[in-house]
Amino acid sequence: FLSLVAEFCCGFFVLLILGNFWFLAVLYLLWLYLDWETPCAGGRRSQWVRSWTVWKYFREYFPIHLIKTSELNPNHNYLLGFHPHGVLVAGAFGNFCTDPPFKNLFPGLTPYLHIMPIWFGCPFFREYIMSAGMVSASKESVSHVLSNEGGGHASVIVIGGAEESLNAHPGSLTLNILKRKGFIKMALKHGAHLVPVFSFGENELFKQVANPKGSWLRNVQEKLQKIMGFALPLFHARGVFQYSFGLIPYRQPINTVVGSPIPVKQNLNPTTEEIDQLHALYLQKLKKLFEEHKSNYGIPAHRSLIFE
């Protein structure tokens, strides 16, 4: 969905340049230059955009639900690790970029969904995603959010990133996390409490062309990801009036469960050992969260998360 909107915005910008409104394009480029750092400085959210009625229907389509398991004290800052990435990341968008789900359950906390910096280079589209509460996933951006002295800020990071979307097959429970420790280091440096989040149903929205590791398709996808910075999963779902083929996601419930916070003491210069210890604890808490709730959402008892 976001890709389609981005393409439309880029196309509109090209039409301005080619048409009789080129001066508007020039003015916008000037604005883009002056405003370039905003996505790394907390963005520019709009309560009006986050409250659009269309997002209510978006959440009800699947439907999307946010489940609270523990209180999050607004006097602290938090780093929420979101899993899995899926193809659409619908749970992250529906719960953290629209109101009122998060605001009602966690009053006093402001969520910031961190996404790839490349999206903020898209004319006009960047204005929309910032208004929804999305900011850059750069280190500077995460630091800005977690540096709020009064607390009350929550960085939401999709830990598996684009690489994990290539594993987004229905029934898949594989998470790309063993080598991803940057978010742990950021939490330590800022003393931000870590919160594991698991979104049940995220991988059920699309069917992806078979791409097992070692296959020619997977090799091509991984090479393209390294070049472009984002993955290109080949997926399909349903159409508008039929269920056999199309790009509209299947209507599958998405239940995003927010776990209990892991207290983190600020450490400006954490050692590798300290990072590894906290990372291991995070994996333990994430697995526990999954095991405690999987039976509620149709996951067989013998299935468990796979970390790679």
Q: Over the stretch 273-291, which tens digit does the pLDDT of each residue have?
A: 999 999 999 999 999 999 9
Number of Cβ within 10 Å of residue 229's Cβ equals 12
Summarize the confidence of residues 112-119 as an average pLDDT: 93
Q: Over the stretch 144-187, which tens digit does the pLDDT of each residue have?
A: 999 999 999 999 999 998 889 999 999 999 999 999 999 999 99
The answer, yes or no, to whether residue 5 has pLDDT greater than 70, is no
Confidence class for position 12, pLDDT limits 50, 70, 90: low
Confidence class for position 37, pLDDT limits 50, 70, 90: very high
Under 8 Å between Cβ of 81 and 103: no
Nearest of 177, 178, 112, 176 to residue 147 by alpha carbon: 112
The number of helix segments (H) and strand segments (E) in the chain equals 12, 11
Q: What is the pLDDT of residue 13?
A: 64
Query: Going by DSSP bridges, is the β-strand pair 235-236/207-208 parallel, antiparallel, or unpaired?
Result: antiparallel
Q: Over the stretch 124-138, which tens digit does the pLDDT of each residue have?
A: 889 999 999 999 999
Q: What is the pLDDT of residue 193?
A: 98
Strand partners for 114: 135, 157
Locate the domains of the chain by residue range.
1-35, 39-307
Q: What is the pLDDT of residue 33?
A: 92
Confidence class for position 295, pLDDT limits 50, 70, 90: very high
Burial of 128 from C-beta contacts in 10 A (0-12 / 13-18 / 19+): middle
The answer, yes or no, to whether residue 18 has pLDDT greater than 90, is no
Number of Cβ within 10 Å of residue 266's Cβ equals 11
pTM of the model: 0.92
Nearest of 170, 172, 169, 177 to residue 284 by alpha carbon: 177
Confidence class for position 54, pLDDT limits 50, 70, 90: very high
Summarize the confidence of residues 74-90 as an average pLDDT: 96
Q: What is the pLDDT of residue 1?
A: 52
Under 8 Å between Cβ of 166 and 219: no
More confident residue, 233 or 264: 264
CATH of 39-307, picked from 3.40.50, 1.25.40, 3.40.1130, 3.90.1200, is: 3.40.1130
